[in-house]
Chain A
Amino acid sequence: MIPYNTMVVLGGVALLGAAAGPIGALAVLRRRALVGDALAHASLPGLCVAFWLVGERFLPALLLGALVSGLLGVGVLAWLAKATRIKEDAALGVVLSVFFGLGVVLVGILQKRPGNKAGLDTFLFGKAAGLQWLDLLFLAGLALVGLTLVVALFKEFQTLGFDRDFAAAQGWPVARLDLLLLALIAVLVVVGLPAVGVVLVAALLITPAATARLWTQRLHRLLLLSAIVGALTGAGGAWLSSMIPHAPTGAVIVLVGAAFFLLSAALRGASWR
Chain B
Amino acid sequence: MNRQTQDYPALFLRELSVVYHGRLALEQATLALDGPALVAIVGPNGAGKSTLLKAALGLIPYTGQVRVLGQPIDAVRSRIGYIPQRGSVDWDFPVSVLDVALMGTYGRLGWFRRPGRSEYHLARECLRRVGLEELENRQIGQLSGGQQQRVFLARALAQQADLYFIDEPMAGVDAATEATLFEVLQELRDQGKTLFVVHHDLRSVPEHFDQVILLNRRVLAVGPVATTFTADRLQEAYGGRVLALHEGMLTP
Contacts and interface: CB of A to CB of B under 8 A. Distances in A.
A170 interface: yes
Interface stretch (A1-9, A32-40, A210-218): A210-218
Most buried by B among A158, A159, A217, A222: A217
B123 interface: no
B22 interface: no
Contacts of B80: 169
A168 B100 CA distance: 15
A221 B82 CA distance: 28
Contacts, number: 76
B100 A155 contact: no
B44 to A, nearest CB: 23
Contact of A222 (B54, B88, B94, B115): B94
A165 B140 CA distance: 17
B59 A152 contact: no
Interface in A207-243: 213, 216-219, 221-222
A217 B112 contact: no
A155 B96 contact: no
Interface residues of A, number: 25
A213 B95 CA distance: 12
A202 B80 CA distance: 40
A152 B114 CA distance: 9
B99 interface: yes
B188 to A, nearest CB: 17
A22 to B, nearest CB: 12
B200 to A, nearest CB: 19
A161 B90 CA distance: 8
Interface in B104-153: 106-107, 109, 111-112, 114-115, 139-140
Contact of B109 (A155, A166, A171, A221): A155
Interface in A121-156: 152-156
Q: Which 6 A-B pairs have the closest CB atoms?
A: A169-B82, A217-B139, A171-B77, A170-B107, A162-B93, A165-B84
Interface of B: 54, 57, 59, 74, 77-78, 80, 82, 84, 88-90, 93-96, 99-100, 103, 106-107, 109, 111-112, 114-115, 139-140, 155, 165
Interface of A: 29, 152-156, 158-159, 161-166, 168-171, 213, 216-219, 221-222
15 contacts: A29-B90, A155-B106, A156-B111, A158-B95, A158-B99, A158-B103, A159-B103, A159-B106, A163-B89, A163-B103, A166-B103, A168-B57, A170-B106, A171-B107, A218-B96
